[in-house]
Structure 1
Amino acid sequence: MLLFCPQCANILSVSVTMYRTNRLECRTCAYKHTVAEPVSSRRVFERKEREDVFGGPGAWDNAQKGRVQCPAEGCDGDEAAFFQVQIRSADEPMTSFFKCMTCGQRWREN
């Protein structure tokens, strides 16, 4: 949680006084505020399932297909749609993204 100076609107920083109490102070102007009580906050984020970043729901419809063994346990699929993207530096190999046509399992190989 960021707090801002009421006088000049800059971010307040936390410092410790010589009496071992915390204080919020502005580095731009002379504003100081002693913190009397502990301040804490917690936020729990919910994980949401999202579609593929590369092209949305229809990204796999026109992808190339090849014979690749699916790594998922219990799946004997041997055909996967794939596409390649350069996600690292230019001197590194491209990353291949796969989707099994039998079970829908997704994986990638560098």
Structure 2
Amino acid sequence: MLFCPNCSNLLLIENEGGQMFFCQSCPYQYAIQSRHTTRKLLHRKEVDDVLGGAKAWENVDSTEVTCPKCEHTKAYFMVIQIRSADEPSSIFYKCCNDECQHQWREG
């Protein structure tokens, strides 16, 4: 984005008769001589584990449910209310297979 040096409004691109930037508020125009690109990499912030991390799974019960990833027949589960009180609770599962440890949810 480029801004007008006279009135500080956002410059728009005009394609008719050659490409140029122009201001809608004042008569400023800037002819585009060459292609100009810049790239800014997005650095994502660290996200906290909303389920409480590995410690949250220490004292949970297991149930008979099939893991969608490895087909193991047992998984740990937690029931958490993540939406408003009038909505049903969500059930979070974690596969009991030590090699898989896949996590998924229902609801």
For 1:33, the equivalent position in structure 2 comes to 30
| Mapping of residues 14-29 of structure 1, within 5 Å | 14-17=13-16, 19=17, 21-29=18-26
Unaligned runs of 5+ in 2: none
How many Å apart are 1:108 and its aligned residue? Answer: 2.8
Q: Percent of aligned pairs with the same residue?
A: 28
Q: State the shift of 1:14 in Å.
A: 1.0
What displacement does 1:6 show? 1.4
Aligned to 2:2: 3
Alignment of 1:82-97 (within 5 A): 82-84=78-80, 85-86=82-83, 96-97=91-92
Alignment partners' CA distance in 2, 1:48 and 1:101: 30
TM-score for both structures, normalised by structure 2: 0.61
Provide structure 1 residue ranges, at least 5 long, that are not aligned to the other structure. Answer: none
Structure exhibiting the larger radius of gyration computed from Cα positions:
2
Number of matched pairs = 103
